Structure 1
Amino acid sequence: MEKVYGCARVSTREQNLDRQIAALRQYIADERDIITDKESGKDFNRPGYQYLREALLRPGDTLIVKSLDRLGRNKQQVKQELEYYKAMGVRVKIIDLPSTMADFPKGQEWICEMVNNIMIEVLATIAEQERLTIRQRQAEGIAEAKKQGRQLGRKKTELPAEWELVTGLWKSGSITAVQAMDRLGLKKSTFYRMVREQK
């Protein structure tokens, strides 16, 4: 039986998938058939996407995405994926690209394919350029922050006054890790993070 699946993606855990899922729900009755990832679009090594590609999609199925850059942002890889699906007999529909959503009369499918190829070439180029621009801005921001002497990443926690003494006792086996944590007034996760930072 032919099935319709949706694919939604955002780049970070803080971003929200709701807008894409709402758009996909118009075409997909069961939300379990909408596979999601919170991963970068730089490549296709995303757990949800790989599960969809390798375990779910079969010849005759349809894959729907909100926009081409939700599939991926690497132009060459996006084109390869689309070729893979074409060879496999899976139709890819892109909501923001209406020509991919339309059903052309028999014998005129080539018109649809020609228009889609041109549009996909343009959109894939734009998506890749956006990814490169984001990376460039991040690199410039990091370089400027370093120049100004700002600390990047998580700020290191100050060591407790008795750190050297207590961890020395712990390392020598005189006290347990739990006793060391109690003496220092630290939670388990904080204690072991500080130990790693001091290595």
Structure 2
Amino acid sequence: MEEKVKNKISIPRYQQIAIEIASRISSGQYKVGEKIYARSSIASQYGVSSETARRAICILCDLEIVTSEKGSGVIIKSYENAVNFIKQYSKRQTIDTIKENLLKSIARQQKEMDTLNECLSDLIAASEHFRSMNPFMPFEVKITSECSYLNKTVSEIQFWQHTGATVLAIGRNGNVIKSPGPYAILLENDIIYFLSQDDSSQRVKEFLYPIK
């Protein structure tokens, strides 16, 4: 089941109202010294409770964008502070957008990795079934103490360059390490699951256990 990314930041309504009023000040719609709505009028205009309107005005007062006195309404105090507030809000929106896109990307990658692991599991199971029917087409090799590259990484021995085979997984201590990557170390008793270009394991066996 696909996991939904719940990272969309919801801005409280009172903050939205404060941002809208500050935007109108920074755009010149409201002038310094001008008296705008009383709290009750703001609540009515935006369709919110008087408490929500009060909190919006408190934000603007704390930032010294407006002043508010009982019976005097809300008076515009500073154009510069309104501009700075909007700039800070814009930066936050940019950061939030980047964060949201990043989390979505991680979720997509995780889904792709889950799909890859499922495919690898299916391939390993199918390979084992196929080998049980046709023993002349092996897709695995066991690492013993006689392996010429014991305790070395797949990248270090240039496994693919010498064999043309791709390591899909490593069986180790009853577990399967899927997509082990180039830095996986070959340990004694490991079982290497691989996909060969010519559907033969002979080249891999000759590389890991060269005739001396």
Which structure: larger Rg?
2
TM-score for both structures, normalised by structure 1: 0.28
Structure (1 or 2) with the greater strand fraction: 2
TM-score for both structures, normalised by structure 2: 0.27
